[in-house]
Amino acid sequence: MKKEKLERIGKLWFEDMWNIPDFNIADQIVDSNYKPEWIHIAASGSELIKHEITHFRSIFPDLKQKVIEINGMTDKVWVRYHANATHSGNAWGFKPTNKEVEFEAAAILYINDKGKVYDLWEAYCFYEILEKLGVVPSFNELHKFFSDFSK
């Protein structure tokens, strides 16, 4: 697949499907077998990503993601993006802090020959997000909570 088409899919994924959000894009670019192994819900395909977007945006309703770097490579597109959002929903046992958080992430969208995303690898520091929200201690302070820890 051409580099430009792969990169267009990557921008659609992060800047339109997630930002607007536009679930019609999910129906167009997500393969029916899409089900990354780290997402543990019964849905798959576009229904899974719609659920994921709906859930995440219930926590961060003003989420905005901007692609910083993108590189299409035959059957995948690598994306580095910047995100910012306000924590205004309950999640992970924490009440809304109404604090804004910013983070960067990297992702690889795996795309089949029909132009559909069938898998996703993504990395960002979730602990750092929770720390910025003030719901967990800083990483440098963690040792204080484990000082009596022994095997």
- Is it the case that residue 82 has pLDDT exceeding 70? yes
Percent of the chain with pLDDT over 70: 97
Alpha-carbon gap, residue 47 to 105, rounded angstroms:
23
Alpha-carbon gap, residue 100 to 31, rounded angstroms:
33
CATH classification number, 3-145, choose in 3.10.450.50, 1.10.150.530, 3.40.718.10, 1.20.1740.10: 3.10.450.50
- Is it the case that residue 37 has pLDDT exceeding 90? no
Q: Which two tokens stand for residue 108?
A: 């690889």
- Is it the case that residue 145 has pLDDT exceeding 80? no
CB 83 within 8 A of CB 100: no
Percent of the chain with pLDDT over 90: 81
- Is it the case that residue 150 has pLDDT exceeding 80? no
Average pLDDT over residues 56-82: 97
pLDDT on residue 148: 65
What is residue 23's DSSP assignment?
H
| For residue 21, cis peptide bond before it (omega within 30 degrees of 0) | yes
The average confidence (pLDDT) of the chain is 93
Residue (of 21, 4, 96, 23) closest to 62 by Cα position: 21
Average pLDDT over residues 28-54: 93
pLDDT on residue 144: 77
In this structure, the dihedral spanned by the alpha carbons of residues 113, 72, 48 and 98, taken in order and rounded to 10 degrees, is -170
Confidence of residue 147 (pLDDT cuts 50, 70, 90): low
User: What is the number of other CB atoms lying within 10 angstroms of the CB of residue 100?
Assistant: 14
